[in-house]
Amino acid sequence: MEIKVQGLDEKLEKLRQFRQEYKNKIRSELIRHGTEMVRNARQGHRFTSRTGNADRSIDINVPIDETSLTFGIVQDYSKTDWNDVSYVTFQHEGTYDGYNQSRISNPYTPTTPKRAGAGIQADHFLERAWFANIEQLKEAIKNIVIEDIREII
């Protein structure tokens, strides 16, 4: 008894091509939605950016040939030369230890005791921008997966 499967080679070749196309589509969506997150974060913060360095520090990074997104303070242009302190980090996390840390914060953010007097109140603008856009990004990626699975089948 001999069983022949027709069209299997074509389907396997289509599956091999699918992988790169799939990565490119997802990467495109990461860039599109990541850019929207950056725009929201730059417009949604409370601090004054006199030089523009703090705003430029808020960015995304989508490495070539990868499907990952880094959003936040990608390269910090707001650090001062004399003490390597990040102005943007202080604006996001605040400098009072009495304020709540954000859900996407760096656990090593330095804080000032509340009794020390002056400080910066936390403004979780990165978190707001992330959660305002993450559902649309998830939906876009889900649609890519569904569409491409239909193509293969």
- 92 near 100, Cβ under 8 Å? no
pLDDT digits (tens, 9 = 90+) for 43-68: 988 888 788 888 888 888 888 877 88
Residue 135's pLDDT band, with cuts at 50, 70 and 90, is: very high
pLDDT digits (tens, 9 = 90+) for 84-95: 667 777 777 776
| Encoded tokens for 105 | 């914060």
107 pLDDT above the threshold of 60:
no
50-59 long-range contacts, CB within 8 A, separation 24+: 53/77, 53/78, 53/87, 54/78, 54/87, 54/88, 54/91, 57/86, 57/88, 58/88, 58/126
pLDDT value of position 31: 93
Could you tell me the pTM of the whole model? 0.71
Residue 96's pLDDT band, with cuts at 50, 70 and 90, is: low
Better-scored residue on pLDDT, 134 or 117: 134
Give the H/E segment covering residue 61: strand 58-61
What is the C-alpha separation between 78 and 91, in angstroms, rounded? 11
